[in-house]
Amino acid sequence: MDGFLALYDECTNDNLLKKRAVSSFVKKFNSAVFCSKRKRKKASDFEVKAIIGRGHFGEVQVVREKSTDAVFAMKVLRKSDLLAQPEISCFEEERDIMGTSLSPWITELHYAFQDSINLYLVMDFHAGGDLLSLLSRHDEIFEEDMAKFYIAEMAIAINSLHEMGYLHRDIKPENILLDCTGHIKLADFGSAAKLNEEKMVSSHMPVGTPDYVAPELLLSMNKVKQQITYGPEVDWWSLGICAYEMLFGATPFTNDHGSMVSTYANIMNFKNILKFPADSNVSDKAKDLIEKLLTDSKSRLSWFEIKAHPFFQGMNWDTIREGEAPYVPSIHGLDDTSHFDEVEQVKRQPNVEALLPQRDFSGKDLPFVGFTFSKDSKSTGSRFMGSPTTSSSSESDLNNSNLLNKGCLVDQSSSSASLADMDKLTLEILAEKDQEIEKLRRLLHLDDGNVIPAEARCISLIEKWNSMDSEIRMIEDELLEVKMEEMKAEIILLETEQEKLSSQLRVKEHHLAKTIEALNDANAKLQNTQKMMDREKRKSREAHHKDFMLLELRNESWESLLQSKQATIDELSARLRDLEELVEAYEDSEEKQATEVHQLQQKLNTSLQDLSTFTLTNVRMSGGTGEAEVELDNLHHAMCPSKKKLTLHVTLKAGRCSFSDNKTLIKLQALQKMVDKYAESARDWREKEEELNAKINSLELDNHTLKQKEGMGRKMKDSLMEKVTSYQLEVEAQKSIIKELQETMRSYLNKSSNYSDSDRKLKEVQQSKLDLESELMSVKEESEKTRLSALHKTKQMEEAIKKLEEQRALAQDYKNRYDCQVELTEVKVRSLEDELAKVTSDRQRLERREETLTTQVETLQSLLDDRTLEMEKLERRNTDIQTHLQQLQQRNTDLQVQIESLQKASSKNDAQEKSKAELGFQVSRLQQQNADLEHRITTALREKQGLEDKVTISERDKERLMRRIERLETLEKDRHELESRVEKMATLEREKRRLEIKVELIF
């Protein structure tokens, strides 16, 4: 499928679309390609969260898949950089390793896809960071047990890659990732290579990182012409470098000044350079492991020897991944990037070459055919060829494209048929006119003897020929006008159809935009609701169950407490009712007693008033003395309505007046009786008064006791009311608590109903989403059909306009050709003949110059090859001289040591003097050789510099020659154009001669 899409994209080039077969191919599969591209994975399906790494060919991003919310690491590789350096780009090996691996030690690939600019590898994201950042957090040194754990896991991961048939070739702490449990994952297979049948790799390309690269790789990079192979031992060397860095805090062969050349020299001289710090606490077993890993390839440890090494004694290799890691990273989310170093955002310059229009088939996407991969289709596809199965929709699209192509052919055949009829008509008219001209010529030849009538006849024939010519021109003009009118009508129809189609297309696009917006909103709502539901379901499934159990228990306890409180409230309310009834009865009795007392007081007052009036009348009638009045007044005052004791004492004394007659005596006696009577009545009244006073006192005592009881009752009533109010407040509080519990129960029930409603809404939204997607598909298909039809109509209209313009141009050329053709042809022929002569001379001269330049280029190329060979020889010689010089220096130091030892022992033995002299002679000779070698090295370096200067000069000459060759090619093109113009002029000359012959025959 990648190959088909690459072919389709190449065919959409404007220059290639001019070819009929290419344009028909593009039209045929346009909708199917559109459908397949829409279904394939693309970069817009992922949301970029952060950038965690950047390399030579691209960068690594942390992304979230929009459809599933899954978090991945996406490696983006630029196609232009991969094509610029194809020898060191191993993107296919990287995809194959992560796609086919079943090992838990290797990062798993989920998707691999591409667009016109980049390649994309979507793999597992390991949030624990890499081993280098872990080293920096531990001050660049691990404890020995911790280092043992990570070295063992790295060895298992490297061996699993070797068992798959690949070499990593770039093992370093940056490429060792930590998952969320703290165990390692091997990553970054951009430098990997596949092993051959002999478990070896033969490559001269520079790969790996300088500090971790093995000496075999350096030899293969330097000795290009020799066939040097290497195997899995290069990865075990890198493991030894990593082990040294974990235990000692630095790599063993890195130069202090950061020079890569010196680092490579140290690696090649590893036997003398590899040393361990004296003040370290690293065990001898660990040092022995590092020494046996950082040795020559033949004696380097293999996988089984690493497992059996004493440093890993007691290590359970089979269950190491199930155990607990020494460091477990704290992760705050699936997309947590806190364990990675921050990477600066870099704005890359746009690829200008990709924006330029293509003129021909580029083939830039052909190296990436077959790159597409999906984890879901891994079992069905072979060799990760992203071959999606053709669906019914794509088949229908292909059928629709076939129908459209057939319709286009019918329209083109109908229009071409009408034009062919018109051409036939014009050809018939021209043939008739040619026949008439031939007849006239024959008559002219027959009547050649009669000059005068022949001339007259010739004049008439010329006039007739002119009239016929004018008729032909009129007919042609009429035909052109008819064609113009037909074309105008067709153009108007096409314009109206185009407007209709464009309006329909705008409506469909507007509807499509609305549906897409609605679909996006629905998707967003669906995702939000799904997230909320998942979150709430995850959080509150067990919590709801616990809350319901607690609420039920609390509800039962509150119900029992409420029942007990209700019983106490009922009891208190009953007691309150009894007290209220008692108070009401007391108040009723008090009111009755008050009314009785009031009635008695009224009766007493009335009786006293009656008595006072009666006594006053009697005293006045009897005409008693002033003492009697005084007594009566006192009696009246004493009998007034008061609650004091009533004293009545009436004393009647005989006055000094004399009772002269009996009447007065009788009256006095009667008065005395009345007084006695009143005295008795007064005693009776006093007794009644005393009784009443006693009753009043008793009533007052009763009233006082009742008032005391009433006060106590009121106090009891107030206390009871306070208790009632407190109980009512407690009841209200309990009721509020019960209401809150009921509300919480209702809220939980509502939430459960809301969850069911949200599930139902989710299903409805999913159904609406499916409906919208189907509607969107139909709308897109309709819009695609309308767009294709509109394009077809516009192309037809453009072709018709072009034909019309061509016919107009032909008519204009037909009118103007005969006027200026004869005059121009002669001038052009002369000028072209001169130009042809010049061009031929220039051509011969340039051909000679080209031959000389090609010979010069070949000689320069041979010289350049010789110089490069000499440069390589000198470089090899330089390296050999340097190694020899190092050996001589080593021998010199050894000899000096021997000389010093011999000088100390010179007094003991004369034979040692001779050996000393011989050694001194050897030292002088070696020093002379050393000086000669240094002189030779300096001369070789000078020769190298001179050769480099010569190479640069030859490259400049080569560029100059290339520019000359380009000029020659342009001149060759101009020559071909001039030759074509000469041929055109020759044809014009032949046509001119034919016309002149016709004119001569006519005249």
Q: Which residues are catalytic?
A: 170
At 983, the amino acid letter reads E
Closest to 233 measured CA to CA, from 248, 251, 216, 210 = 216
What is the token pair recorded at 674? 């009345």
Answer whether 829's CB lies under 8 Å from 985's CB. yes
Answer whether 99's CB lies under 8 Å from 80's CB. no
What is the token pair recorded at 896? 């000096």
What is the token pair recorded at 6? 């690459």
Closest to 980 measured CA to CA, from 823, 846, 837, 836 = 836
CA dihedral 411, 413, 418, 424 (to 10 degrees): 170
Element holding 441 (H helix, E strand)? helix 392-446
539 is in an annotated binding site: no
Helix axes 215-222 and 260-268, enclosed angle (nearest 10): 110
Q: CA-to-CA distance for 672 and 679, rounded, in angstroms?
A: 10
Q: CA-to-CA distance for 90 and 92, rounded, in angstroms?
A: 6
CA atoms within 13 A on the CB side of 287: 10
Q: CA-to-CA distance for 374 and 111, rounded, in angstroms?
A: 5
Q: CA-to-CA distance for 50 and 576, rounded, in angstroms?
A: 76
* CB neighbour list of residue 723: distance below 8 Å, 6 or more residues apart: 572
Answer whether 169's CB lies under 8 Å from 234's CB. yes
Q: CA-to-CA distance for 207 and 216, rounded, in angstroms?
A: 12
Task: List 74's β-bridge partners, or say none.
Answer: 61, 122
Closest to 639 measured CA to CA, from 688, 677, 597 = 688
Q: Cα dist. 832→822, 975, 976, 985, 992 in Å? A: 15, 12, 13, 8, 16
Q: Cα dist. 467→435, 473, 1000 in Å? A: 16, 10, 19
Q: CA-to-CA distance for 269 and 156, rounded, in angstroms?
A: 29
Q: Cα dist. 282→138, 287, 467 in Å? A: 16, 7, 118
Q: CA-to-CA distance for 411 and 794, rounded, in angstroms?
A: 13
Answer whether 638's CB lies under 8 Å from 647's CB. yes
Task: List 111's β-bridge partners, or say none.
Answer: 122, 374
Q: CA-to-CA distance for 91 and 185, rounded, in angstroms?
A: 19
| Inter-residue long-range contacts of 4-8, CB under 8 Å, 24+ positions, other chains counted | 5/33, 5/36, 5/37, 6/365, 6/366, 6/368, 6/369, 8/33
Q: CA-to-CA distance for 405 and 13, rounded, in angstroms?
A: 20
Answer whether 1's CB lies under 8 Å from 114's CB. no
Task: List 576's β-bridge partners, or say none.
Answer: none
Closest to 223 measured CA to CA, from 203, 209, 238 = 203
DSSP character string of 736-789:
HHHHHHHHHHHHHHHHHHHHHHHHHHHHHHHHHHHHHHHHHHHHHHHHHHHHHH
Count of CB atoms situated within 10 Å of the CB of 464: 13
CA atoms within 13 A on the CB side of 891: 16
In this structure, is the dihedral angle defined by the CA atoms of residues 3, 380, 777 and 110, taken in order, positive or negative?
negative
Binding residues for ATP: 75
